[in-house]
Structure 1
């Protein structure tokens, strides 16, 4: 009988001719009856019994005349097969045949059941081995972290490649067969050993999301934090007792870090938004945003107060709808379109009648550029400049009035200076002339002492006259118009040096070729006269005065007596001299004139020196 109990097959028949077995493809009815009725069936004469109809001829041709067919039954009474005993003569079964056959069938039943049990066991083992191999392959190829622990010490039985990679690229030989506390000692104090103990002891699974675990992945003692979604599931032996724990985890470190970065960025952006919103809401300036249809999509509190409207009543409306005059609204519509088309800001000043009356406003529209480079909106700010314009107008009037007053004062000063100069020059000329006449006509008759006094009186009168001329020149410099033009500074210096040769015939002046500058020719020449003249005056015999240019800086240097830089701040002040009149005659006005000329050009002047090492005066002429 086939294992499914549906079909009887000829199996073992060592004494029957093989040709007979091949001649029939199904069993005779006698066998079928014995199987279906689970009883012995005896055919005393095959030649006449209808149960052998269809099989009679092959049986008789091989000398088969009688047959005893007995069912083989399992201990549970299930049909396992049949046993047939053939006779070569027509007959009834002999005494004891039936008992021997039934005894044999019982032995056969035991053998068949044992064979089938062994086959079932072998098949189950093969299937178990196959399933275990397939499950192992699935674990090893799983796109998640998988490992299995056995026993209360949680000894590694299985660890897939992703698990080994998570814990630092360990090898199976370093992991399998060893307790987890020995393989991963860095987990002490992180709660994972306690979780494994609890799942093993209680048999209750555990699941946790985005759990932090710190692992020594590099093997250098420095712990790296990772995040995992983990499930601990107890495993059980065939008797239902917990014998291990299976760990299934997914490394979500990248996702957690990305989310935290996004959360941090979102928090930062939210703080920035609140900050900007606070600033914009509390600034006195008007702030607003237009969409591409010229409608307001944002307006701060200052603007709403100026309009006398609420935010709900203003958002989504254009300028005309919130109360702008038609010409004003049309102008802003054109400007918004221009900003969108050119992606450039636009600025203007415009009057507006708001809750505080008609005021003047300075505004600017700027494009809001999206990620694709197109204009998404137009933002604007507006400032009330009414007071500024009024103050500017007031200041302009005041400047005009002050300018007029200064011009009047200058005219009076020039008249006064001229008057003083004229009134002082006459007595000075008289003093000098009288002294000279006395010296010329009565010189031999006058004692040496008095002749010396008269000579000194004449020199002082002349010096005072020169001082008056310098003061007048200094006064005029502060008012002189600067006529800027391109200058050949080399030629200017050469002309000055030539004119100074009359006063200092032994002086030597070296002038750099190709010097260029811009300034007022007359003023620049006066400046050079003072600097070159001073350099020649303070130079020793054989000393060289050098005039040079480096970039936009011009310099005049000498090899003279020099001065202490401690007093450098005094040399450009009127009447301030660092030497005595007897050593180096002068008025003390020349360097003051130099500074005033340089300032009139928008430049600066400075000096560098050391006692006995000469001096270097440098200046620029501004832009």
Structure 2
């Protein structure tokens, strides 16, 4: 292929056109000024415009001498402003020149732009120049090629509008941003080139402003790039004026400043973060000149004062004279070696006291390796130095304290004789010998009574193996006051090793724990007594292993209720001896063992094989989890109380009453017929009354038995608990310093005893509600609620609770029981509150007819109407699927660690309401509060 056959380059004409040729064709000159030296690089055309020879020096100060004197100030001001980072960087001035060599006057127009780095530093100032003395029009087709040649290589967007807002020119960078071509874009408006309506309207208003004012306008805007996404642009619209001074077009340039904006934002965040870090620091942060003669900056918190003239002399005046030479020597060495300066020395603080500071400065080097400045920090280390000094003093004191330590300390030789080398005073008191009677004597000679107790053999084993020996609560028989006494010690034999790891001696540490051991044994005896009392309680109790539900312990009452022998129960899985009821209650027992929730049921009917025969019995029983300190279920306690006799008698009486009622109705119908039948009926009623009296006697005896149990619970069970708590208090008060970590176990024991005591009291209260005889009379519920609120006044004040009580009725009832009802309901409303939420409680009452009772509400006594009393709170609430459980004994919906309590309070409420012939229910959602509703007969 010949040269004439080669295809055209795929680049546009503007891209292929030589820029130098384009400038020559347009009669334009190119220039650039170095911001650092103020030297100007001009091409030949620019020199001609100043009348300079080609080889003439072109320093700016020389060239400016050939500007017309009347125009020099104007030119200088324009250049200085364009080189200011606060300007838009554009320079456009028309002025007169006086030829340096030919003396000719010319009118010239110099246009250019200053370029700045992201830090705002001027990096370049360049542009073009043309003579305007006799301007020659440039043909339109040539003008387009010239524009393309000039603007094709710039990343800036260059374009022009006519007065109808249509594009008449767009360089390649702008076309690329649009993703369009010259043919598609030129002659089209803003909207047609993809501008959003708001964007197009904004530019049209700005074009109108430029036309009206004939002044450039500058702005920033963000809009999408065809390939780069949304970008930020800096743009300038400038008027193009014809020879008549009229604006005939608008020229525009736009620069992508997205990266600069992001860098500026990142730099600002970084600077702010560094400034915040420095200001939050307790150190002084400073910069120092290369020779350390001038402190340039001082920020952060300082422990010095008078920072008006910070320099080396100022710094040295805060250093004691004895340390100044050391500081200056360190500074000079750092400067000479261009290395980091680090030194800790004394300093005179603002209050005149001598403190300590640690200074560290890093040299900042230029490209030639010369020090520009120093960046340093100074920390106030007075407290650390003083602490180190105090530690050294403490070590000295520690040697003295060893001698006076309340722990027995002694050292023995590592030979067969085990000779005492040293012993402190407490060790001598522990073995009832003066120190001087121990030191220098073999162990068995100094303490002959320990021969045969094995301690010499243990010591020789430690020497042979080099392994320490530690034992707790070791019993030692020591001769005291002429007779042997048993003491208990925590004992440690620690080998002292030499440089070759050989044992050189033994350090003996002995702590007297005699009193703690004796106290613990007393506590264990008390706990055993408590276990004995529980096992002998009139309530059947069985203890199961939670992991496999194997029976570990049963008391006599449980054996009696179960109708099995001790051997048939102990060691068996719980459902082996009770297989006949496993289908009904196995799931409940498993949930208690796995989830730790208490399960209880009252007077349930069950068929149980007892003594080899199936029997129908009625029992109240509880499955209660027993947890360790970590909250894990370890055991399950089964509490059983047989109610067969009471239920049978009650049902028998109810049947008899029903039967006699029916017979009485029949007798009344026949009463008019015959007096003889009436007489016979009277005899029969007398017999019925006798039976009723007998039944009442049996019920009273049953209640007396329950009262006797209540007495046992309140007295016999409480008494050992009180002893445990008393002994615990004595141990804590008198021996807490000696117990060490044992205090934690005592506190846990006290907490467990306190919970047990509370549980017994709640059971007693429930028992009394169930058995006590009513003392009925008119009772004002308003008065009762006011009394309860007075009792809860402290809790209400602490929580800031808001309690609203509406008018309440007066009913026929037992005041004591009703007080317990509202005490439990209002106390629960305060206890189960939401964190950070002010408790709000409402108590209100209403009235409704019996036939309007909600479905499922069955009061214990029929009435034509009922009072409806509501207690409403905004607490944690509960899931209504647990509604059938919350009124049962020992039922809890929350963990003990979250809300304290025994799970009996609502069972007491249910019993009180039942005693008064009513019913109780509740409605709630988790986190939505709860409403407890009580129905009482009118």
- Quickly name the TM-score band, shorter chain normalised: 0.3 to 0.5
- Give the number of the structure with larger relative contact order, counting CA–CA contacts within 8 Å between residues 6 or more apart: 1
Greater percentage in strand: 2
Higher Rg: 1
